[in-house]
Amino acid sequence: MNDEEYNIEYFKEHELIRKKCEKCGTYYWTRDNDRKTCGDAPCDIYSFIGEPIFKERSVEQIRESFLSFFESHGHTRLKRYPVVARWRDDIYLNIASISNFQPFVTAGKVPPPANPLVISQPCIRLEDLESIGKTGRHLTAFEMMGHHAFNKRGEEREETGEIYWKNDTVRYCDEYLRQLGVDMDGVTYKEAPWVGGGNAGPSLEVITSGLELATLVFMDLKLSPLGQIDIKGQLYDKMDTYIVDTGYGLERFVWASKGSPTVYDAIFPDMIKELINAAGIVHPLETHHELIIENARLSGAMSRREIAKRFGISPKELKTILGPIESVYAVSDHTKCLAFMLADGIVPSNAKEGYLARLVLRRAFRMLKSLNIAIPLEELVLKQIKTLKNSFPELEDSVDRIVEIVALEKSRYDDTLLKGGRIVKQLAKQSKLKAQKIHIDTLIDLYDTHGLPPEFVSEVASTQGIAVDIPENFYSLVASMHGEEQKTAREPLLDGLKEKTE
Ligand SMILES: [Zn+2]
């Protein structure tokens, strides 16, 4: 992408300089003459752990500060859209605030509900399911705060004029961060050309203390066989529209303001306390304080193996220390994800979005069992709704339905395991006779056809003396096989469609 794309007037006026990261080679903009790296992990570590970036704020405070900031700058505040993307042909779940306006608004075929607008959109992404609870930063359910401006070229632009483009987008970002009390000398704007779903455009990642807080995408290109712009071997042309697509990570702002070891500690403190008590464990922050803080600071920059080595322990020992709290984190996350999924009308099943809800439900059942927690899952989902009800009162309308669905799913799950035990035992005996392993395809088939999680297969098979290797990304794998990718593969992408990926 042309360097000129990032030659933004605001940067010059405010004396930001363009530098090249000494570690990754990416270009970024900064106010700090002495800076050597782009500020992002893994080039920089999470230096905000234990040292918050600005004054502590709650989820509600950050959300309101963002929405009202943009309201006071001429944006119309919109209510959230559902987390199940029924208006989309290519995805099941709502994965970004811009998803609400794709494909027709972004393609310029339907006018936007307001222009410019601001929204805080609950989103669900399951592609990093295994990372939930482990990396400290991944969430299945998160709110993407976004301000969007939809500009048109040509005649229509002459009528209405430009809403705004790069200059104001960067200015708003700078002003919002400054208002929160962020030290602007530590903020970098990293150039990160964005490509996806048939579209492309320049984009800036907004980073401080190793943490990416926001992404500012300037979506203005579409794939075109005769296009004039070559990006990674693909030809693009300008779209008839050019769109400001921003994503500010609500939970990340809260995390940065608290400096907690993980995003989960920052946003789910009560749920974590309750689960820890119920499981009869102690937060490793109390037993292994130094290790936990150091692990949190390094987790964006180093692998588990490297971190264990640094502490002179084996990866297995590290896993023993972190395993239970990671399950607690994951249950905290999954119960919020389920609150939105079920309240927005998803019914667990073996197909489409129902499959994805069942996947999350069964992971949560399994983790509660591994923690020896007897609290029914539906109670925990209701607890999440109680926490969320001031911001999303509509969730409360579905309480009875949710209790019924989760309890029913649990009894189905128990039945499945009862029957599954026999199937797996048989299979393990056969494998033993043939001196074969249980293959990944078999694990996927056992999960898809019989609903048996690989951990359960492994447990039962080990009683027959058969060891099972479970791929680390098993759940992400099945989620992607049955989720977004399948829907995308079936339906061709429409003009003006794109997904923002991390
Ligand atoms: Zn870098």
Ligand 1 geometric centre to CA of 214 (Å) = 16
- Given 202, 232, 256, the domain boundary residue is 256
Q: Is residue 391 in a domain?
A: yes
* Bridge pairing between strands 203-208 and 187-191: antiparallel
| Long-range contacts, 313-321 (Cβ 8 Å, 24+) | 321/284, 321/287, 321/288, 321/291
Domain boundary among 196, 223, 256: 256
* Average pLDDT, integer, range 114-119: 97
Cα 188 to ligand 1 centroid, rounded to whole Å: 11
Ligand 1 center–CA 22 separation, angstroms: 7
Q: What is the CATH number of the domain that holds 235?
A: 3.30.930.10
Are residues 231 and 292 located together in one domain of the fold? Answer: no
SS3 215: strand
- Mean predicted confidence (pLDDT) in 180-203: 89
90 lies in the same domain as 225? yes
The rounded distance, in Å, linking the Cα atoms of 366 and 327 is 10
User: Would you say residue 79 lies in a domain?
Assistant: yes
Tokens (6 digits) for 201: 């455009």
Q: How far is the CA of 40 from the centre of ligand 1 (A)?
A: 6
pLDDT on residue 196: 64
Ligand 1 centroid to residue 335 C-alpha, Å: 35
- Judged by phi (left if over 0) then psi (alpha if -120 to 50, else beta), residue 408 lies in alpha
Task: Determine the residue type at 90.
Answer: D
Task: Based on the fold, state whether residues 247 and 316 are members of the same structural domain.
Answer: no
| 434: containing domain | 268-489
Question: Which residues sit with Cβ closer than 5 angstroms to ligand 1, an ion?
Answer: 21, 23-24, 38, 43
State the distance from the centre of ligand 1 to the C-alpha of 252, rounded, in angstroms.
20
Q: Considering Cα of 102, then 107, then 110, then 111, what sign does the dihedral take? A: positive
Q: 355 CA to middle of ligand 1, Å?
A: 38
Does residue 136 lie within any of the structural domains? yes
Same domain, 53 and 135: yes
**What's the pTM value of the predicted model, to 2 decimals?**
0.90
Distance 26 CA to ligand 1 centre (A): 6
Helical spans, DSSP H, in 191-288: 250-258, 263-267, 269-279, 284-287
DSSP state of 129: G
Question: Domain check: are 284 and 219 in the same one?
Answer: no
pLDDT band at residue 487 using 50, 70 and 90 as cut-offs: low
Residue 156 sits in the same domain as residue 300: no
SS3 content of the chain, % helix, strand, coil (to 5): 50, 15, 35
Q: What is the separation, in whole angstroms, between the first and last Cα of the chain?
A: 19
44 lies in a domain? yes
Whether 262 maps to a domain, the answer reads no
Distance between CA 69 and CA 366 in Å, rounded? 42
Residue 499 in domain: no
Are 163 and 122 within one domain? yes
- 210 Cα: distance to centroid of ligand 1 (angstroms): 10
Q: Which two tokens stand for residue 347?
A: 């019914």
Unique residue bearing structure tokens 């009800």: 389
Burial of 500 (0-12, 13-18, 19+ CB in 10 A): buried
Rg (CA), the chain: 24
Q: What is the mean pLDDT of the chain?
A: 90
Rounded Cα distance, 27 and 3, in Å: 10
Residues 182 and 275 in one domain: no
Q: Identify the bridge partners of residue 149 per DSSP, sorted by sequence position.
A: 244
Residue 483: pLDDT band (50, 70, 90) is low
In the reported structure, the alpha carbon of residue 294 is separated from the centroid of ligand 1 by a whole-number distance in angstroms of 21
Q: If you measure from the C-alpha of residue 15 to the centroid of ligand 1, how many angstroms do you get, rounded to a whole number?
A: 21
Query: What Cα–Cα distance (Å) separates residue 8 from each residue in 202, 395, 497?
Result: 12, 42, 26
Q: What is the pLDDT of residues 234-263, one digit of tens each?
A: 899 998 899 999 999 999 999 999 999 999
Write down the pLDDT at residue 233: 84
- Do 198 and 13 contact (CB within 8 A), yes or no? no
What are 372-430's pLDDT values in tens digits? 999 999 999 999 999 999 999 999 999 999 999 999 999 999 999 999 999 999 888 88
Residue that terminates a domain, selected from 207, 224, 256: 256
Strand, helix or coil for residue 234: strand
How far does the centroid of ligand 1 lie from the alpha carbon of residue 186, in Å?
14
- Paired strand residues for 150: 243
Pair (294, 232) in one structural domain: no
The per-residue pLDDT for range 311-322, each reduced to its tens digit, is: 999 999 999 999
Please list the residues that pair with 199 across neighbouring strands. Answer: 196, 222
Q: For residues 335 and 252, state if they share a domain.
A: no
240 and 305, same domain (yes or no): no
Task: Kindly list the distances between the CA atom of residue 175 and the CA atoms of 178, 183, 271, 380, in Å, as whole numbers in the listed order.
Answer: 5, 12, 34, 38
CA distance linking residue 93 with residue 100, whole number of Å: 11
DSSP conformational letter for 93: B
Number of domains in the chain: 2
CA of 42 to the centre of ligand 1 (A): 7
Do 172 and 298 lie in one domain? The reply is no
Question: pLDDT per residue over 76-109, tens digit each?
Answer: 999 999 999 998 888 899 999 998 998 888 888 8
Would 494 be classed as within a structural domain? no
For residue 20, how far is its CA from the centre of ligand 1 (angstroms)? 8
CA of residue 34 to ligand 1 center, whole Å: 15
C-alpha 246 – ligand 1 centre gap (Å): 21
45 Cα to the center of ligand 1, angstroms: 11
The per-residue DSSP string of 382-421 comes to HHHHHHHTTT-GGGGGGHHHHHHHHHHHHHHHHHHHHHHH
For 357-363, what is the mean pLDDT? 95
Q: Does the residue 211 lie in any domain?
A: yes
